[in-house]
Amino acid sequence: MIDIATLLFLLFATPVAFSLPIAFAWVYRPGAEWARKLPILSVFGLFVSLCIALYILFYFPNGTYTYPWLPDYNINFVFIFDYLSKYMGALTALIAFLIGVYGLEYMKHDYRLGWYWFFFNMFTASMLLVVYSDNLMLLLIGWEGLGLASWGLIGHWFRDDDELSYVGIIGRKVGPLNMFWSPSFGGWRAISTIRFGDMPMFFAIAAIYALTGNLNISEIDWAGLFHHIGAIGTVILIIALLMGPFTKSAQLPFSEWLMTAMTGPTTVSALLHSATMVAAGTYLFMRLSWYIEPWKLHHMHGVEMVYLFVLFLGLISALYGASVALGCRERKVLLAASTMSSLGLMFACAAASFWLGKIAIYVAFWYLIVHAFAKATLFLVAGHLIHATHDRFCCGDLELAKKMKVAFVATVFATLCLSGVPPFTAYWVKSAMDGIMHHLMHEVGSAPLYLLVTVSVIYSAFLAKFLSLNFIKGDKPKHLHLHGEVLMPIAYAVMVSMLAVLLYAILGHAEPIAGEFVEKGFERSSLAVGLAVLISYVIALVVPRLESPIGRFLGDRMYMPALNDYIIPKIGWAIAKIVDYGNRLIDTFCHQAIPELIATYSLGVRAIQSGYLKRYVKIALGFVMVALIVASLVRW
């Protein structure tokens, strides 16, 4: 019987360890035919992690496991096994494995396989560490691993020599702003944006340790902490802590890195947008809320202010992402914008837990699971389409649908399941979400409900648009090269089938919470929203193009790139100039003015210090005479 410590070590270490052979082989024999066969080892490492994650899900009892690290400081390796971590761990490992299988075929001719597989497996291991960590210090290790791996993968095609790896139309400008982004720029933008949010998060964790002497999320006396620091301190501490999740999950105004992250390989985009990286932000917020239990802290106004802020930030980010996706024509950028929208809904729903309790976290978490499988499916299909048509913009007709039947069927089912069309998977979860926002009308007004319904209708439209422009009413592809791929269709076929499994679990009440979903799904208000979503889906299927200035405005992401690429750099350069002038002033004062003054003073002193007694007597008499004159004037 393998003990828990060994099992956990294998869970995190196996993916990285099994990626090392190809990493080293590519360093010493890049491009060698035998080296191209080694990625199977990396996928095997992912398979081992999947087996362990499933074992944890079905056989581990709920609780924590502690491995001593710095016991004198109460800092240890603490892993937690509860509802959230068990399901999230299995979800992450399964999706990473299926995408790994897809990548064996998708990436087989790549010029940088060692780099790719090492960072891909490191990405997965880091996310698993974030999922199972109860200790914030240990979680930070995985958090930083995600950031580093994302930089390595998003900028994987660093040569910037392939038009298919860009985002935007190469050479296009809007005023002074470039509306195209290369892989190397996408990688830099991702890690720079994420680091902006990570820094306040680090300081918040340090403050939590200084104030409580504890870093274990499930053990911290959150209520006592918030009472000790007061309402203003609570707002500052929690917002600083959530800056990391906000930037990682691309909430406004930190959304742009997620769009330009589409410069990476499609396998990276699929993993990034489903079960890792962006999901880490929403997952951490759910985990914090699970143990903070804000529904018991209504007497603490600071906590309410934070959760109200997250509620509306999530809904506004969801509306922005959905609107942008409606105007996008690039396959992966459209899906990226839709991910931002979904993440906003997860944040908003989890934030509702302050008023409605743990049920809101359950709903947000189930939506995360449904979204993960659906979005991974759509990204893998998009990658196959780009691979076959050599075009990253939506194009395809019924003839393409006939030639790529598995991709077509997977897209139809995934879009129906994710859009909230009844009676497919997301409909039941979104019905519960509608119910949550309906209940909030008594607490914060009707705005959250109206925002959610609006987002749901737009969300359905852009998913139908993706289906229509790629398989039904899109332009005929200029190039079509199907190379008899086998692993790629199998991977997304298995991925999309998991949505059917989730639908069966909901309707079959496999989880106690599923009964709530089904009950809400049969309410009149939910059926009305479902009907509106269905109508939107059908209309967008028939009229998928938004050819208007509004469509171009949305497709240009409402010119939010200007904030990252023009406004902030201008402000940064202005600050840099001010600092530079300050440095020059200090340099002039310290290195020129003061030395010259001292030199002048020294020359004067030297002139006085001649060494002759007669001169010193004259100087002394001079001072005496001046003193007498001053005294006589004062007396007069």
pLDDT single digits (tens) 314-355: 999 999 999 999 999 999 999 999 999 999 999 999 999 999
Residues 128, 12 contacting (CB under 8 angstroms): yes
Q: How far apart are CA 488 and CA 467, in angstroms?
A: 18
Concatenating the DSSP letter of every residue in 395-407 gives --BHHHHHHTHHH
Positive or negative: CA dihedral 465, 416, 264, 475: negative
Average pLDDT over residues 125-131: 96
Tell me what pLDDT residue 608 has: 64
Helices (H) then strands (E): counts for the chain: 28, 4
Tell me what pLDDT residue 450 has: 95
Confidence of residue 571 (pLDDT cuts 50, 70, 90): confident
Q: How far apart are CA 362 and CA 354, in angstroms?
A: 13
Q: How far apart are CA 497 and CA 451, in angstroms?
A: 31
Q: Is the per-residue pLDDT at 1 higher than 60?
A: no
Tell me what pLDDT residue 297 has: 93
Q: What is the pLDDT of residues 491-506, one digit of tens each?
A: 999 999 999 999 999 9
Tell me what pLDDT residue 372 has: 96
Q: Is the per-residue pLDDT at 229 higher than 90?
A: yes
Average pLDDT over residues 105-121: 93
Q: Which residues pair with 135 in a beta bridge?
A: 216
Q: How far apart are CA 317 and CA 392, in angstroms?
A: 25
- The SS3 assignment for 484 reads coil
Q: Is the per-residue pLDDT at 487 higher than 90?
A: yes
Q: What is the pLDDT of residues 421-459, one digit of tens each?
A: 999 999 999 999 999 999 999 889 999 999 999 999 999
Q: Which residues pair with 81 in a beta bridge?
A: 63
Q: Is the per-residue pLDDT at 615 higher than 90?
A: no
Tell me what pLDDT residue 275 has: 82
Tell me what pLDDT residue 628 has: 77
Tell me what pLDDT residue 612 has: 63
Q: Is the per-residue pLDDT at 207 higher than 60?
A: yes
- The SS3 assignment for 173 reads strand
- The SS3 assignment for 194 reads helix
Q: Is the per-residue pLDDT at 601 higher than 80?
A: no
Q: Is the per-residue pLDDT at 217 higher than 80?
A: yes
Classify 558 in phi/psi space as left (phi over 0), alpha (psi -120 to 50) or beta. Answer: left
Q: How far apart are CA 342 and CA 223, in angstroms?
A: 30
What's the chain's average pLDDT? Answer: 91
Q: What percent of the chain has pLDDT over 90?
A: 70
Concatenating the DSSP letter of every residue in 433-450 gives HHHHHHHTHHHH-SHHHH
Tell me what pLDDT residue 622 has: 77
- For the chain, what are the domain ranges? 1-154, 169-559, 572-635
Q: Phi and psi of 465, rounded to 5°?
A: -60, -45
Give residue 7's identity as a one-letter amino acid code: L
63 membership: H or E segment, kind and range: strand 63-70
Give start and end residues of each alpha helix (H) in 107-182.
113-132, 136-154
Q: How far apart are CA 256 and CA 184, in angstroms?
A: 15
Confidence of residue 605 (pLDDT cuts 50, 70, 90): low
Positive or negative: CA dihedral 392, 394, 398, 404: positive
- The SS3 assignment for 167 reads strand
Weakest mean pLDDT among 140-149, 399-408, 549-558, 606-615? 606-615
Tell me what pLDDT residue 610 has: 61
Q: What is the pLDDT of residues 45-93, one digit of tens each?
A: 999 999 999 999 999 999 999 998 888 888 889 999 999 999 999 999 9
Q: What is the pLDDT of residues 243-259, one digit of tens each?
A: 999 999 999 999 999 99
Average pLDDT over residues 385-403: 93
Q: Is the per-residue pLDDT at 630 higher than 90?
A: no
Tell me what pLDDT residue 31 has: 79
Confidence of residue 607 (pLDDT cuts 50, 70, 90): low
Tell me what pLDDT residue 606 has: 66
How do the residues of the chain divide into helix, strand and coil, expressed in percent and rounded to 5?
Answer: 75, 5, 20
Q: Is the per-residue pLDDT at 586 higher than 90?
A: no
570 or 267: which leads in pLDDT: 267
Average pLDDT over residues 146-152: 92
Instruction: Name residues whose C-beta falls within 8 Å of residue 294's C-beta, 6 or more positions apart in sequence.
Output: 303, 304, 307, 353, 354
Q: How far apart are CA 387 and CA 180, in angstroms?
A: 21
Give the HSE-up count for residue 460: Cα atoms under 13 Å, Cβ half-sphere.
26
